[in-house]
Chain A
Amino acid sequence: MRDASTMHHDRRVQEEPELTRHDPTAAATTVPGPADRDVLSGTCPPAVPDTAWEDLVSAALLGTERRPIPAAGDRDPAAALLDAAAVRTLERRAGLLPAVARPLPSPAPADPRDPLPPAARHRLATLLADRAAGGRRGTAPVLAELLPQWLTAANRHGYRAPDDLLPGLLDAARARSDLRDGVLTFAGPRGRWLAGLNPDWKFALRAAATGAAGAAVPSDPAGVHRLWEEGLFAERTALLTALRQRDPAGGLDLLRSSWPAERAEDRLMFLDALRTGLGPADEAFLEEVLGDRSRNVRTLASELLALLPGSALSERMARRAAACVVPQRTPGGVVVVVEAPHECDAGMQRDGITVRPPSGRGERSWWLSRLLESAPLGLWGERFGGLTPEEIVALPVADGRQEELHAAWGRAAVARGDVDWSRALLGSPLAADAGATAGERTAMLAVLPADERAEWVAGHVSAYGPGDAFQFLGACAVPWSEPLGRAVVDALDIARDAGGYPWSLSGVMGLAERCLDPELSGRLEALTVAAEEPAGPAPGTEGYWSEAFQRLAGTLRLRAALHRELDDPGAEG
Chain B
Amino acid sequence: MTRRSFGDMTQRERWTADQVLALAPDAASRKAGSRLGAAGPWSATGTDGEAVWGLCRGSGSRPYRTVVALRGPSAEAGPACTCSCPSRKFPCKHALGLLLLWTEGPAAVGQGEPPNFAQVWLEGRSRRAARSALPEAAGAGRGADPDSSRRKQARRAGRMAAGAVELEQRLTDLLRGGIAGADRAGYAPWDETAARMVDAQAPGLAARVRELGSVAGSGGGWPERLLEECALLHLLDRGLLLTDGLPAPLAATVRTRAGVTTEAADVLADPGARVRDRWLVTARQDCTEGTLTTRRIWLQGERSGRAAVLLSYGAAGRTPPQAFPPGPALDAEVAYYPGGQPLRAVLGEQFGTSPGGPPSGSGPAAALQAYAAALRGDPWLDAWPVVLSGVVPVPGAAGAPGDTGWQVADPAAGAGDAPALPVDPRAPATGLWRLASVSGGRPVTVFGLCGHRGFLPLTAWTPGSAEGVAL
A143: chain B residues within 8 A (beta carbon) = 34-35
Query: Any chain A CB within 8 A of the CB of B139?
Result: no
* Interface residue ranges of A73-127 to B (CB < 8 Å): 76-79, 81-83, 85-86, 88-90, 92-108, 119, 122, 126
A101 to B390, CA, bound (A): 14
A122: chain B residues within 8 A (beta carbon) = 16-18
User: Which stretch, A193-201, A275-283, A459-467, touches the partner chain B?
Assistant: A193-201
- Interface residue from B223, B369, B442 paired with A107 (Cβ < 8 Å): B442
Query: Any chain B CB within 8 A of the CB of A10?
Result: yes
In the complex, how many angstroms separate the beta carbon of A413 from the nearest chain B beta carbon?
A: 43
Q: Contact mask A268-291 → B, CB, 8 Å, 1/0?
A: 000000000000000000000000
Query: Any chain A CB within 8 A of the CB of B411?
Result: yes
B376: chain A residues within 8 A (beta carbon) = 32-34, 36, 94
Query: Any chain A CB within 8 A of the CB of B368?
Result: yes
Query: Any chain A CB within 8 A of the CB of B407?
Result: yes
Query: Any chain A CB within 8 A of the CB of B417?
Result: yes
Q: Which of B104, B171, B379 has the most CB of A within 10 A?
A: B379
In the complex, how many angstroms separate the beta carbon of A324 from the nearest chain B beta carbon?
A: 59
A122 to B372, CA, bound (A): 40
Query: Any chain B CB within 8 A of the CB of A130?
Result: yes
Q: Which of A33, A64, A92, A94 has the most CB of B within 10 A?
A: A94
Q: Which B residue sits closest to A132, measured CB to CB?
A: B31
Query: Any chain A CB within 8 A of the CB of B463?
Result: no
Given A56-B227, A96-B372, A140-B36, A38 contacting B250 (CB threshold 8 A)? yes
Given A36-B250, A97-B365, A194-B437, A16 contacting B453 (CB threshold 8 A)? yes
* Interface residue ranges of B410-446 to A (CB < 8 Å): 410-411, 417-422, 430, 433-434, 436-438, 440-442
A194: chain B residues within 8 A (beta carbon) = 433, 436-437
A18: chain B residues within 8 A (beta carbon) = 403, 405, 407, 420, 422, 454
Interchain CB contact under 8 A, A78 and B175: yes
A387 to B371, CA, bound (A): 91
* Interface residue ranges of A10-62 to B (CB < 8 Å): 10-11, 14-19, 31-36, 38-43, 56-57, 59-62
A205 to B31, CA, bound (A): 31
- Interface residue from A62, A76, A199, A530 paired with B178 (Cβ < 8 Å): A62
* Interface residue ranges of A351-366 to B (CB < 8 Å): none
Interchain CB contact under 8 A, B419 and A100: yes
Interchain CB contact under 8 A, A60 and B430: no
B235: chain A residues within 8 A (beta carbon) = 39-40, 86
Interchain CB contact under 8 A, B421 and A553: no
Query: Any chain A CB within 8 A of the CB of B272?
Result: no
Interchain CB contact under 8 A, A85 and B231: yes
A367 to B363, CA, bound (A): 78
Q: Which of B37, B175, B177 has the most CB of A within 10 A?
A: B175
Query: Any chain B CB within 8 A of the CB of A63?
Result: yes
A43: chain B residues within 8 A (beta carbon) = 238, 242
- Interface residue from B40, B245, B422, B430 paired with A99 (Cβ < 8 Å): B422
Assign chain B's interface to a size class: 35 or more
Q: Contact mask B384-420 → A, CB, 8 Å, 1/0?
A: 0000000010110011000101010111000001111
Given A34-B375, A133-B31, A554-B38, A14 contacting B242 (CB threshold 8 A)? no
A50 to B203, CA, bound (A): 34
A140: chain B residues within 8 A (beta carbon) = 35-36, 38, 40-41
- Interface residue from A34, A65, A102, A104 paired with B372 (Cβ < 8 Å): A34
A298: chain B residues within 8 A (beta carbon) = none
A59 to B176, CA, bound (A): 9
B230: chain A residues within 8 A (beta carbon) = 60, 82, 85
Query: Any chain B CB within 8 A of the CB of A66?
Result: yes
Interchain CB contact under 8 A, B420 and A100: yes
Interchain CB contact under 8 A, B220 and A10: yes
Q: Which B residue sits closest to A11, measured CB to CB?
A: B221
A4 to B173, CA, bound (A): 20
A187 to B40, CA, bound (A): 31
A198: chain B residues within 8 A (beta carbon) = 395, 433
Interchain CB contact under 8 A, B40 and A554: yes
Q: Which A residue sits closest to B42, measured CB to CB?
A: A554
A539 to B69, CA, bound (A): 40
Interchain CB contact under 8 A, A38 and B247: yes
Interchain CB contact under 8 A, B441 and A555: no
Q: Contact mask A162-173 → B, CB, 8 Å, 1/0?
A: 011011000000
Query: Any chain A CB within 8 A of the CB of B239?
Result: yes
B221: chain A residues within 8 A (beta carbon) = 7, 10-11, 14-15
B365: chain A residues within 8 A (beta carbon) = 97-98
In the complex, how many angstroms separate the beta carbon of B35 from the nearest chain A beta carbon?
A: 4
A331 to B315, CA, bound (A): 92
- Interface residue from B232, B373, B394 paired with A89 (Cβ < 8 Å): B232
A31: chain B residues within 8 A (beta carbon) = 369, 372
Interchain CB contact under 8 A, A557 and B231: no
Interchain CB contact under 8 A, B223 and A105: no
A100 to B171, CA, bound (A): 38
Given A82-B175, A167-B430, A167-B437, A8 contacting B419 (CB threshold 8 A)? no
In the complex, how many angstroms separate the beta carbon of A243 from the nearest chain B beta carbon?
A: 32
Interchain CB contact under 8 A, A39 and B437: no
Query: Any chain B CB within 8 A of the CB of A237?
Result: no
A102: chain B residues within 8 A (beta carbon) = 394, 403, 407, 409, 420
A10 to B231, CA, bound (A): 21
Given A8-B223, A99-B420, A130-B35, A86 contacting B175 (CB threshold 8 A)? no
Q: Which A residue sits closest to B27, measured CB to CB?
A: A129
A66 to B168, CA, bound (A): 20
Query: Any chain B CB within 8 A of the CB of A551?
Result: yes
Query: Any chain A CB within 8 A of the CB of B59?
Result: yes
Q: Which of B171, B174, B178, B369 has the most CB of A within 10 A?
A: B178
Interchain CB contact under 8 A, B31 and A129: yes
A411 to B106, CA, bound (A): 55
A6 to B434, CA, bound (A): 38
Interchain CB contact under 8 A, A104 and B409: yes
Q: Contact mask A281-317 → B, CB, 8 Å, 1/0?
A: 0000000000000000000000000000000000000
* Interface residue ranges of A133-180 to B (CB < 8 Å): 133, 137-141, 143, 163-164, 166-167
Query: Any chain A CB within 8 A of the CB of B172?
Result: yes
Given A8-B224, A122-B17, A139 contacting B34 (CB threshold 8 A)? no
Q: Contact mask B152-185 → A, CB, 8 Å, 1/0?
A: 0000000000000000100111111111100000
Interchain CB contact under 8 A, B409 and A63: no
Query: Any chain A CB within 8 A of the CB of B105?
Result: yes
Query: Any chain B CB within 8 A of the CB of A227?
Result: no
Query: Any chain A CB within 8 A of the CB of B234?
Result: yes
Query: Any chain A CB within 8 A of the CB of B296?
Result: no
Given A8-B223, A34-B372, A78 contacting B41 (CB threshold 8 A)? no
In the complex, how many angstroms separate the beta carbon of B64 from the nearest chain A beta carbon?
A: 12
A573: chain B residues within 8 A (beta carbon) = 105
26 inter-chain pairs at a CB distance below 8 angstroms, sorted by A residue, are A11-B220, A14-B220, A18-B407, A36-B250, A38-B247, A39-B235, A39-B239, A40-B235, A43-B238, A57-B223, A61-B180, A62-B178, A86-B234, A90-B375, A90-B379, A95-B372, A98-B419, A100-B420, A101-B407, A119-B104, A141-B40, A163-B440, A167-B433, A190-B437, A197-B395, A547-B59
B interface residues, Cβ below 8 angstroms from A: 16-18, 30-31, 34-41, 57-59, 61, 104-105, 168, 171-180, 220-221, 223-228, 230-232, 234-235, 238-239, 242, 245-247, 250, 254, 363-365, 368-369, 371-373, 375-376, 379, 392, 394-395, 398-399, 403, 405, 407, 409-411, 417-422, 430, 433-434, 436-438, 440-442, 451-454, 462, 469
Given contacts A15-B221, A18-B420, A554-B41, 6 further A-B contacts (CB under 8 A): A43-B238, A64-B175, A66-B178, A85-B228, A97-B365, A107-B440
**The 7 residue pairs across chains A and B that have the minimum distance between CB atoms:** A554-B40, A63-B178, A11-B221, A101-B409, A98-B419, A85-B231, A108-B440
